[in-house]
Chain A
């Protein structure tokens, strides 16, 4: 079953343009600031990207944590239908689904995170070891009319034949056991 799921959502490995993904608040390989975690305000970080091919019509973002003791990475953020003209996303788009998105990502919609909410929910790992958080950005060569609230698997399935570029920013976060705080 797991193999079937993996096959269904795997993306073509060839001909993908590498994207460079950065953030004004998160540095690759370093600890994610508390404001982007459940130990802080839990707001989504601003991201910037470059290197998307000219055929890009939309972008999508997925953030997940593969270090959880679960068969699949735990999903923290799903955002898609980001206009192809966007060079990134601002910090903390509205958590109210009825509220309009900022102008630069107008039309973007949230998918479901592993917390079963259509908003960003940042790192909240069990104490014990650092977890790695992958902020992945996908460049898509089509305008896809997708409903809001897709899961990561549903989104990957919907875009799998349209991904023309991909990049990620990976950072870490760790919660200390209560007695060590």
Chain B
């Protein structure tokens, strides 16, 4: 069984590889060499975890609001850390500064509308609402009930929510190369064993739980890092992996 300490060591190695690659050409998502990953490439160091984040696309206020939202989508609870701890907001921010830049305006308008909706419907900023009221409000946004509220959602509030939820999932459960899934929190939450080049016969036996591999797919030579370009790809997200 891998310990938390071992996990963090592995994360440090993986992040180191990512940070080195981030310094070259256009391969990396923007911001991978910033304070979140850290110049030393260690996701594990406490000072990096607590260091202020230099937002690349979001304003500090937007990032704060987004943090409060994703904390309700995948909360930290008895199952383990959630989307905030996994760095989902960092993922979204780095994405909006690069491969997801076409969604930047949708976030700006959507977050502003959600905040207006919180004030008009619940009488307070989203971040000051109780957990129950936050969840209730997010359900209204998710289901489209907030659309006709006059808060200023573009089209249906459900479309904004769907985008936000998809990016939160990506930032929590995607490859750490893209800035989220910090310390492989998302993979641990799912019980995903990680990317591996080979699977032994023993590991394929029924009932065997393979030891988790906790490193980015892009640390394997068999994965071409060029596919992780920030340029828009066939799916419009700039990556095909």
- Chain A interface residues toward B at CB < 8 A: 34, 38-43, 95-96, 115-117, 119, 121, 124-127, 175, 178, 181
Q: A181: which B residues are within 8 A, CB to CB?
A: 150
Q: A43: which B residues are within 8 A, CB to CB?
A: 136
Interface of chain B, main secondary structure: helix
Contact assessment for B121 and A42 in the assembled complex, using a CB-CB cutoff below 8 Å: yes
Q: A41: which B residues are within 8 A, CB to CB?
A: 121-122, 133, 136
* Stretch from B37-45, B88-96, B140-148, B161-169 forming part of the interface with A: B140-148
Q: From residue A49, how far is it (CB to closest CB) to chain B in Å? A: 25
Q: A96: which B residues are within 8 A, CB to CB?
A: 132
Contact assessment for B148 and A42 in the assembled complex, using a CB-CB cutoff below 8 Å: no
Taking the complex as formed, is B224 at the interface, i.e. its CB lies under 8 A from any CB of chain A?
A: no
- Chain B interface residues toward A at CB < 8 A: 120-122, 132-133, 135-137, 139-140, 143-150
A-B pairs with lowest CB-CB distance, top 8: A124-B145, A38-B145, A115-B143, A38-B140, A175-B148, A181-B150, A178-B150, A42-B136
Contact assessment for B150 and A121 in the assembled complex, using a CB-CB cutoff below 8 Å: no
Q: A95: which B residues are within 8 A, CB to CB?
A: 132, 135-136, 139
- The contact sample of 10 A-B pairs, CB cut-off 8 A, is A38-B140, A39-B149, A40-B121, A41-B121, A41-B136, A117-B139, A119-B139, A124-B149, A125-B148, A127-B148
- Find A38's partner among B132, B135, B149 (CB 8 Å cutoff): B149
Q: B147: which A residues are within 8 A, CB to CB?
A: 124
Query: Looking across the interface, which residue of chain B has its beta carbon closest to that of A113?
Result: B143
Contact assessment for A38 and B146 in the assembled complex, using a CB-CB cutoff below 8 Å: yes
* CA distance in complex: A40, B148 (Å): 12
**Interface-centre pick from B143, B146, B147 (highest chain A CB count, 10 A):** B143
Given A41-B121, A41-B122, A42-B140: A121 and B135 interface contact (C-beta under 8 Å): no
